[in-house]
Structure 1
Amino acid sequence: MGYVADRWHKSRPKLGDPECGEHKGLVASKAHGKGKRWQARYDDPNGNEVTSLWRTKTEAEAEIVKQESAKQTGSWLDPKAGRVTVKQFAYDTWLPSLNIIGRTQTEYEGVLRRYVVPEWGNREIRSIKPSEAGAWQKLLVTKYKLKGTYPNRVSRYVRGIFRLAVIDRVIHVSPFERIPAPTADERATQPPDVAEVRQLIAAAYDDRWKAMIELNALTGLRSGEIRGLRLDRIDFLRRTMLVNQQLVYEKGDGLYFDELKTGAGLRTLPLSQRAVDLLAAYVHKYPPREGGPGEGLVFVMADGGLIGESTLDYALKSTCKKAKAPKRHWHELRHHYASVLIAGGENPKVVQKRLGHKDVMTTLRTYAHLFAEAEEQTRDVLDAAWAEPGETGSTEESPRQGGRIPESRRSQGVLKQVSG
């Protein structure tokens, strides 16, 4: 249990000490008349003494009762902890707590440097109000001109700082608690269809780009993953591919091999026979080099050097121009792969696993419109299952027996018969 100390007077006066001229029966200390008189003292949950100063003894006693009660209920916070600045907590506590690779940390540090430190860097973390949190999110668009999904992403990073502060008992509640995050303004992806991908493959001016375009459409690899693909990651017998590294570029370090951004990115992909045949033919014609920076890689430059992201993007843009096709980014071949899986009836969890997304919500956000387009297939399946023999939309056999699923036009015919 804590106790209250009188700073202005000695608790153990020596014999012969003069009596305080202001307070009868007490002996003045060196602190007499300086600052607040009463000091509340108590131990925190870890046994460390915590002190605070108060004007009256009643206030000090009330503080002790309050803190002892908070300790009992598990809601205790160190009154001094919230005085840490937003910048100090973000750099010294939040960043070290994240299980991230170097490039991601560089990205997070850039967010702090550009959007957080200029606004709140020297503010005590406990001083940020919900109204200020909402206003800061608006600044991301109005002041910093962020667009698309970026305001939402930056906000999620900063929300994580305050969420950790709550978990660490630095603040009671995050100022973002009831403030909605910026809307992730994602444009619906319109990936190339199979016909367009075939058109790009035919127009590619080099065997390397032909193979990479087709393989990416068949596997959905990220740019860094296909550029860092090694032959020993491919099991031709089992028709699988291990995706466990990527080729990345970082200013000052150049191109280098790195682990994947998240644990979900580490995956084993099932390969179609077309993908296996494509890879087998390519490595037979262009065996991986021994030695040098491109040792063991399936795809390298003509001189054996590593393929940079900008080089691959330029190759695709040139191919699109030659094919007289819409301008495409390399990532859109990954979207093509996802769209084929979705159209084929794969559920979101499987699509997430194949793409290496961290969670299924990322998959749903990105491809929600494609899943919506698959709703017609659900209607056809149900209509076929429940159709009576002889009804429009029925089949000789049920879907479970291997019969074909009727088209949506036939289901519309059933509706017309019923309404008629």
Structure 2
Amino acid sequence: MRKTKKRRGRGEGSIYQRESDGRWVGSVVVGYNAEGKPRRKVVYGDTKEEAQRLLNELLQKVQAGDADRGDGLLSGKLDWWLNCNVKARVDPATYALHKQRIEQYILPKLGHYAIAALSEYLIRNWYDEMEKEGRSPDLRNKCGQLLRRCLDKCVSDGDIKTNPTRKLCLPRVTAEEMHPLDTEQARAFLAVAGRHRLAALWLLALDSGMRQGEILALTWADVDFANGVVSVTKSVRTGDKGAARVKEVKTKASRRRIRVTRQTLDALAARRKQSRGPLVFATSARAAHRGQPRYMNKANLTKSFRLLLRKAGLPKLRFHDLRHTHATFALQATKNIKAVSSRLGHADVRVTLNTYAHYLPLMEEEYVSAMETLLETPPAPPADAPQQETGNVLD
């Protein structure tokens, strides 16, 4: 009876002996090109067993997504890096933002180059072109970081020897200037905001220093009226296509309990009487009552904030400047910078110092005054020092 040859299963690749030199070849499909034709990777061995071993290793890489790394062009490498290395580790909104920046700003200028052909000259010209097009330093910096991280991965995987972006400085980002309210401005703002339908929100923002997303994610379960504490555990973020998404706060330091004033608790209690849903600040009471909590739109909230500023005769500010206002008031009221840093949810006290150090003139004045007092006061003699003798002293 004739022995039939066993056919290899789908996705297991193939092994055959090459007639030209007798070597064994293992082949497997790792993807398809734009025309729908299969792209293959091959391994070679002097024996069938060696070729089988190398093919098994290649199959493991294919199953892990590590074998299909594009066609050598930057466009293919960026697509592979973003989907196989980044997507599973970041928030969907962050992934969508990375993808949008790659497709809109990197691929049109550099995507058609092979990664081995990328040079300092090409990348520097790309930076210059983005600047001429009026792209902000922050956007140019973020796009440069994406390209650098992708090419770092290519270097670690052996696709290229060096990363040309490492020889260039990323576009410098100038920190956006903050504009905290002073005492008189804060009073003027609260006088107008106190009559607004979201009076509790504006008061809470100034009193707690919470971020906008943290405030919008608050539920009544997070407000401890008995102890005067608000718990921060979640944050509202704008996801893909502008949809609101709620996630746990990013860092351990951001998860915190903030003690608030009696005035803020009273404002929250008044709002609680009118609320029917779990959210403290829902966009629609009717929707919340139907068991469908709807989070406020950040853009609409910013519009309301700007309208209140105009009514109070104040300059145009960002919502985040309410957080800066709280931070400057807190730092000027206490010398415990660590406590203020924890209240703000900063992971490192150095972030607080670097951000707000130049808003602490009162602390500098206290330091100078204390040093002047110290230097002007003559040192007291030690208790056990010998008393100076009076009269003539013979040598």
Q: What TM-score bracket applies, with the shorter chain setting the length?
A: 0.5 to 0.7
Question: Residue in 2 aligned with 1:111?
Answer: 101
Q: How far did 1:117 drift?
A: 0.9
Question: Residue in 2 aligned with 1:287?
Answer: 273
1:173 matched to 2:197? The reply is no
2:315 to 314, 319, 326: 326
Q: Counterpart amino acid of 1:279? A: L
Gap regions ≥5 residues in structure 2: 1-17, 24-43, 56-65, 288-294, 380-395
1:216 to 201, 205, 211: 205
Q: Counterpart amino acid of 1:153? A: K
CA distance in 2: counterparts of 1:184 and 1:389, whole angstroms: 47
Output the TM-score relative to the length of structure 1.
0.63
Structure 1 residue matching 2:198: 3-state secondary structure: helix
Question: Residue in 1 aligned with 2:62?
Answer: none
Q: How far did 1:335 drift?
A: 1.7
Relative to 1, partners in 2 of residues 1:85 and 1:357: Cα closer, same or farther, differing over 3 Å?
Answer: farther
Q: How far did 1:114 drift?
A: 1.0
Is this contact kept in 2: 1:192–1:336, CA < 8 A?
Answer: yes
Cα RMSD for the two superposed structures: 4.0
Q: Counterpart amino acid of 2:165? A: F
Question: Residue in 2 aligned with 1:132?
Answer: 122
CA distance in 2: counterparts of 1:239 and 1:114, whole angstroms: 48
1:268 to 256, 261, 265: 256
Question: Residue in 2 aligned with 1:298?
Answer: 280
Is this contact kept in 1: 2:228–2:265, CA < 8 A?
Answer: no
Is this contact kept in 2: 1:228–1:297, CA < 8 A?
Answer: yes
Structure 1 residues 85-94 or 319-328, which shifts more? 85-94
Is this contact kept in 2: 1:186–1:366, CA < 8 A?
Answer: no
Question: Residue in 1 aligned with 2:82?
Answer: 94
Q: How far did 1:104 drift?
A: 1.3
Is this contact kept in 2: 1:221–1:334, CA < 8 A?
Answer: yes
Q: Counterpart amino acid of 1:387? A: L
Q: Counterpart amino acid of 1:339? A: T
Q: How far did 1:202 drift?
A: 0.5
Question: Residue in 1 aligned with 2:73?
Answer: 85
Q: Counterpart amino acid of 1:286? A: R
1:97-147 superposed Cα distances (whole Å, 9 cap, x missing partner): 33221111111111111111111223222321123222222222113x112
How many residues align? The count is 320
Q: How far did 1:317 drift?
A: 1.5
In the TM superposition, 1:2-401 aligns within 5 A as 10=21, 48=54, 84-98=72-86, 99-143=89-133, 145-204=134-193, 206-250=195-239, 252=241, 254=243, 256-260=244-248, 262-263=250-251, 266-272=254-260, 274=261, 277-287=263-273, 289-290=275-276, 295-301=277-283, 303-304=285-286, 306-343=295-332, 344-347=334-337, 353-356=342-345, 366-367=355-356, 369-370=358-359, 373=361, 376-377=364-365, 379-380=367-368, 383=371, 386-389=374-377
Is this contact kept in 1: 2:74–2:110, CA < 8 A?
Answer: yes
1:258-315 superposed Cα distances (whole Å, 9 cap, x missing partner): 215733574113223x1x541344224533644xxxx211123474454221221122
Gap regions ≥5 residues in structure 1: 1-6, 13-39, 50-77, 392-420
Structure 2 residue matching 1:263: 3-state secondary structure: coil
Relative to 1, partners in 2 of residues 1:219 and 1:157: Cα closer, same or farther, differing over 3 Å?
Answer: farther
Structure 2 residue matching 1:97: 3-state secondary structure: helix
Is this contact kept in 2: 1:82–1:126, CA < 8 A?
Answer: no
Q: How far did 1:253 drift?
A: 6.3
Percentage of pairs with the same residue: 21
CA distance in 2: counterparts of 1:321 and 1:312, whole angstroms: 15
CA distance in 2: counterparts of 1:169 and 1:378, whole angstroms: 58
Relative to 1, partners in 2 of residues 1:154 and 1:10: Cα closer, same or farther, differing over 3 Å?
Answer: closer
CA distance in 2: counterparts of 1:168 and 1:219, whole angstroms: 47
Q: How far did 1:222 drift?
A: 2.2
Structure 2 residue matching 1:141: 3-state secondary structure: helix
Relative to 1, partners in 2 of residues 1:239 and 1:179: Cα closer, same or farther, differing over 3 Å?
Answer: farther
CA distance in 2: counterparts of 1:92 and 1:198, whole angstroms: 54
CA distance in 2: counterparts of 1:92 and 1:185, whole angstroms: 32
CA distance in 1: counterparts of 2:147 and 2:282, whole angstroms: 39
CA distance in 2: counterparts of 1:363 and 1:83, whole angstroms: 46
Q: Counterpart amino acid of 1:184? A: V
Is this contact kept in 2: 1:267–1:353, CA < 8 A?
Answer: no
Question: Residue in 1 aligned with 2:27?
Answer: none
Q: How far did 1:85 drift?
A: 2.6
CA distance in 2: counterparts of 1:167 and 1:382, whole angstroms: 55
Relative to 1, partners in 2 of residues 1:326 and 1:81: Cα closer, same or farther, differing over 3 Å?
Answer: closer
Is this contact kept in 2: 1:188–1:366, CA < 8 A?
Answer: no
Q: How far did 1:329 drift?
A: 2.0
Question: Residue in 2 aligned with 1:20?
Answer: none
Q: How far did 1:206 drift?
A: 3.7
CA distance in 2: counterparts of 1:124 and 1:93, whole angstroms: 15
1:137-196 superposed Cα distances (whole Å, 9 cap, x missing partner): 2222113x1125332233223322222333344333221112111111224312112321
